[in-house]
Structure formats: C-alpha cells, structure tokens
Structure 1
C-alpha cells in the first residue's frame, strides 16, 4: 500500500469498506468508509482501485456533524 500522510493510492488494499444506508438508488454519488483502521479511510464507491482520503477520527466526526447541520456547500 503506497500512501502519503492523508491518502492511500489504491484503496482496494484496505478492508472493511461499507456504503451508507442513505446511499441508495442510482445517483452514483456515493462514498464508502472503511472500518477497523487507525484513521478513517473514505473513497468514491465508483473508483474502488482509486485513492482514498484518510481522516482522523475527530476530523471525520466534525465533517459528519457539519453535513448533518447542513454546513457543507454543494
């Protein structure tokens, strides 16, 4: 697995990926998150061998809170 501090070049090298239950239908704009890692890997569900961004647990929780509060622009 080749990575930098905040990315993994090939996300298929990681395990534990899941898609949110809110990601239904055929919109195609879905993210997947992987469980069981020291950081929180996030990838585009359409680009499985593509890169993943790595968030700290606190950073990911802050992002989720911002989304829920509608503080993230489209």
Structure 2
C-alpha cells in the first residue's frame, strides 16, 4: 500500500527508488527492490535518497513540496 501511495504522490521512478532504498523485494507492483535487478536510473535516484543531501528534503519541507499531491489523494 505504501508503494502504491508513493507512486501516486511522487511517481513511478521515485517510488522504484524508494523500494530499492529499503530493499523491499517481495511480489510488488514494481520489480526494483534489489540492486541486482533495478534499472541504473533507479539506482542513481536511490543513492541520492540515501545521501545527506536527500535528508535535507525530508520533514516539513518535503510535506510542503508535495502538499498539492497529498491533497489530491484526499479528495
């Protein structure tokens, strides 16, 4: 469910990168939960998410950035 919601909020590539970052690899909607099978562009997005730079976008600023998408899902 979390990956489904993430896909609605930030899109497929970002969601695949999240899946890879947490190494979530059961039967899911995307096949990118393992570095050995993930696409190169997804690996790069995931690595960015794991960096210190990515942490700056978390928290209240991340919520503000995605507020329009979150509100669309609630309606």
TM norm structure 1: 0.31
Higher helix share: 2
TM norm structure 2: 0.30
